[in-house]
Amino acid sequence: MSASVQETALANWLAAGLRCIGQISIADRSGEGFVLTHRDDDTSRNDLQHYGNAVGASEIARFDDAKNYRPLKTAPNLRHGWRLALKDIAALRIALDLFYPGRLAAFLAWEEGACATTPLRATLERQTGMYRASAKISVDEANALVGNFCGSDGGCLRTILWKRDENGGVASTRLPSEKCDPRHDQTGQGAAVIPLLCQEACNLLVAEARKIVRAAMPE
Ligand code: SF4
């Protein structure tokens, strides 16, 4: 999918009123570019740290407020206190892809009915090497793990599209149904959002599944 196709889609989403993505608010400066801020920050504050180009997004996204590395970019721990000015839609696309890698392309594919998903069980069963053990996780253990690890309240802001296994089944009965609704704002703030879609379980979830299996193995 080309960059220009994504930029056209992004412009259309903004025109349709989708002005938030994850924890980021997008302000359109009417032909003079865009300004991104953390949704929880008061934009009239004059102490926001200023960044002037898309590369600033990777620096902002790297650590949380406590300066801890953020291994999961869609976790709800984006740091506060910054303002990122971008000159045009191309720069906006690059910045959003640095904040939330691959998520614009995923949403565009979903809108076009071309977003392929992989059931959790299939993702676990295709693991090799040290992660092969993750496939041994039981249905109940996986249900609890996904409920704890993927929840929007402290876990991850993605909207889950995948099913439990090839026969379907919700990702976890411990998650609210909105967790699988791309129109729902996973921050709970009720805005119209560009959603962060999850087409298949990430490596971090697979690693957690492995830990559970390993912990239950005899010494
Ligand atoms: S599996 Fe998807 S929803 Fe769960 S933590 Fe990973 S990226 Fe987020």
Determine the average pLDDT of the residues in 59-88: 98
64 Cα: distance to centroid of ligand 1 (angstroms): 18
Contacts of residue 116, defined as CB under 8 A and 6 or more positions apart, other chains included, come to 109, 199
**From atom 8 of ligand 1, which residue's Cα is the shortest distance away?**
156
Over residues 92-142, the pLDDT tens digits come to 999 999 999 999 999 999 999 999 999 999 999 999 999 999 999 999 999
Q: Which of 204, 206, 210 to mutate to test the pocket of ligand 1 (most atoms within 8 A of CB)?
A: 204
Determine the average pLDDT of the residues in 206-213: 98
Supply angle C-alpha 143, 144, 146, rounded to 5.
70
**From atom 1 of ligand 1, which residue's Cα is the shortest distance away?**
201
Q: What is the number of other CB atoms lying within 10 angstroms of the CB of residue 18?
A: 17
Given a cut of 90, is residue 1 above it in pLDDT?
A: no
Numbered ranges of CATH 3.30.1360.190 in the chain: 3-101
d(CA 154, CA 131): 25
Numbered ranges of CATH 3.30.70.2320 in the chain: 120-215
Please give the CATH number for the structural domain made up of 120-215: 3.30.70.2320
Determine the average pLDDT of the residues in 53-82: 98
**8 Å CB contact between 85 and 35:** yes
**From atom 7 of ligand 1, which residue's Cα is the shortest distance away?**
202
Residue 219: what pLDDT?
66
Assign 67 a pLDDT band (cuts: 50, 70, 90): very high
For the 3-101 domain, the top CATH level (class) is alpha beta
Burial of 91 (0-12, 13-18, 19+ CB in 10 A): buried
**Residue entry with tokens 């220009």:** 4
